[in-house]
Amino acid sequence: MRFYSLIALLLVLFLLACGEQSATARGVPVYTYEVVNNWHHDPEAYTQGLIFYDGFLYESTGLNGQSSLRKVDLTSGKVIQQVKVPEEFFAEGMTIFRGRIFQLTWKHNKGFIYNLEDFQKAGEFTYEGEGWGLTHDDESLIMSDGTSRIRFLDPTSFKVKRTINVTDSNHPITELNELEYIRGEIYANIWETDRIARIDPRTGKVTGWIDLTGLLHVEDSSQPVDVLNGIAYDTEHDRLFVTGKLWPKLFEIRFKKAGH
């Protein structure tokens, strides 16, 4: 009898778990995508940060000895302007805020500030922990560090104003990588996955998932490629761009509810 009671208990727990997962799936929408356009992307660019600003892409690339800050023509993929990051640094996320470019580094607890026009270095700033992704809202720099935590930094003093912990159905979502602030939400690449999380910047709750499985076709993966990473948004024309580390293409996509 005890054996059958145990089986019954396990069955009940399984059904409850399935019900919880179904409720989660219903509560947090999942989106797929359609490709609107694609362009050449430098296959040697280890993309860590991506911005669309005033008609051009701005990109932060990583790896020690190969890190850079770039201004890139969208349609040709040609690098128009570039500055190398000192070889001891592994560059990470970047954003443009109040006329300056802010760029993180991975493990050196240091960020760089550049003049937007000429990429001349205008200063440095420090932070605790690792630097991964960077974006901004109207008031703060918004930074990820590979955990489930997102910090909001004062753009002048770089002190932490507040933090949120990103969760989906109360489960922490870690490996938050490249960030982009889009229409009042934070979009975040999840490292080593084909997913982008849409995050409520007030609560940290995931409001939706974008599944980009299969975006880079097999024929474009014949050379070494790395993970999906890089989100840029054209506010004027409502265009969303994505790419990945060492990807030969950059995509403009639209997303739609899964199953539609």
pLDDT tens per residue across span 236-253: 999 999 999 999 999 999
pTM for this structure?
A: 0.88
Is position 21 within any domain? no
Mean pLDDT of the chain: 90
Is position 165 within any domain? yes
Q: How many domains, in total, are found in the chain?
A: 1
Is position 17 within any domain? no
Is position 126 within any domain? yes
Is position 133 within any domain? yes
Mean pLDDT over 44-51 rounds to 97
71 forms beta bridges with: 58, 81
Is position 37 within any domain? yes
Rounded to whole angstroms, the maximal C-alpha distance in the chain is: 78
Q: In what order do the strands lie in the sheet with 56-61?
A: 47-53, 56-61, 68-72, 79-84
142 forms beta bridges with: 135, 152
Q: What pLDDT, on the 0 to 100 scale, is given for residue 54?
A: 96
H helix runs in the chain, sequence order: 2-27
Compute CA distances 102 → 89, 99, 131, whole Å.
Answer: 15, 10, 12
> Integer distance in angstroms from the first to the last C-alpha of the chain?
48
Is position 207 within any domain? yes
Is position 9 within any domain? no
Domain housing 217: 29-257
pLDDT surpasses 50 at 11: no
Q: Which CATH number covers residue 148? A: 2.130.10.10
Please count the other Cβ atoms lying within 10 Å of the Cβ belonging to residue 38.
18
